[in-house]
Amino acid sequence: RLDYGELLGGRVRLTETARGWAEAVFDASDFGNFLTYPQVQAAAPRVAGTSFIFKRDGVVIDRAAGRVFFKGLLSGRQITVSLEASNDDFAPTARLLRADDGSGGGGDSAEAAEVEEALTRFFRGLAVDLAGVKLRFAALRLDAAAPSGGEVVRIRLTAEIRRIPNPLTDRI
């Protein structure tokens, strides 16, 4: 029998790593918060020596098109990107839609390809450690949320639990 007081007090220890699956479900606002979460932002890719900076605002989920749109900054320019899940393995692919450089241009095709490749690699390899719970990206799916019916991003994650986080002392 599990004593939740002992668990929450940090007095329950795992004797071996537990492995399994987890799922995170985000509406547009939550996905923007996820992109700007310190661990996610710290892992953001570098393109041509400059870190991609995710923006919290501007996320749009389009389930019918199979895409989630988000914005970021690269070398001071706002970038609009779509993240698409393939139908077969749900591995995401990033597509650069627009790079606002002040002149209305979208940047050159070599730069666009570099941004797309860097962001695709980033999302496919994304991993965060939440005080002993390591979550690694496995799949992306867009769906309707019940009961609101709003559109959501579902991220399937592999999970390794090396220790049980203590909600009183761990910061995640």
The pLDDT of residue 11: 75
Task: Compute CA distances 163 → 18, 31, 158, 160, whole Å.
Answer: 9, 26, 15, 9
Amino acid at residue number 54: F
Q: What does the pLDDT average to over 132-148?
A: 85
Give 135's contacts (C-beta < 8 A, 6+ positions apart). 22, 24, 127, 128, 129, 157, 158, 159
Calpha distance 144→132 (Å, rounded): 31
CA 141 to chain centre: 12
Calpha distance 134→158 (Å, rounded): 8
Calpha distance 46→26 (Å, rounded): 25
The pLDDT of residue 158: 94
Of residues 56, 101, 83, 80, the one with CA closest to residue 140: 83
If residue 5 lies in a helix (H) or strand (E), which one and from where to where? helix 4-8
The pLDDT of residue 101: 56
Q: Taking the model in full, what pTM does it have?
A: 0.84
Question: Cα 81–86–90 angle (5° rounding)?
Answer: 100
Cα end-to-end distance, the chain, whole Å: 27
* Residue 110 predicted with pLDDT over 80: yes
Q: What share of the chain is helix, strand, coil (3-state, %, to 5)?
A: 20, 40, 40
- Categorize the per-residue pLDDT at 103 as very low, low, confident or very high, splitting at 50, 70 and 90: very low
> pLDDT tens for residues 9-39?
777 778 899 999 999 999 999 999 999 999 9
> pLDDT tens for residues 54-97?
999 999 999 888 899 999 999 999 999 999 987 666 789 999 98
* Residue 104 predicted with pLDDT over 50: no
- Categorize the per-residue pLDDT at 172 as very low, low, confident or very high, splitting at 50, 70 and 90: confident
* Residue 51 predicted with pLDDT over 90: yes
Q: What does the pLDDT average to over 43-47?
A: 94
The pLDDT of residue 164: 82
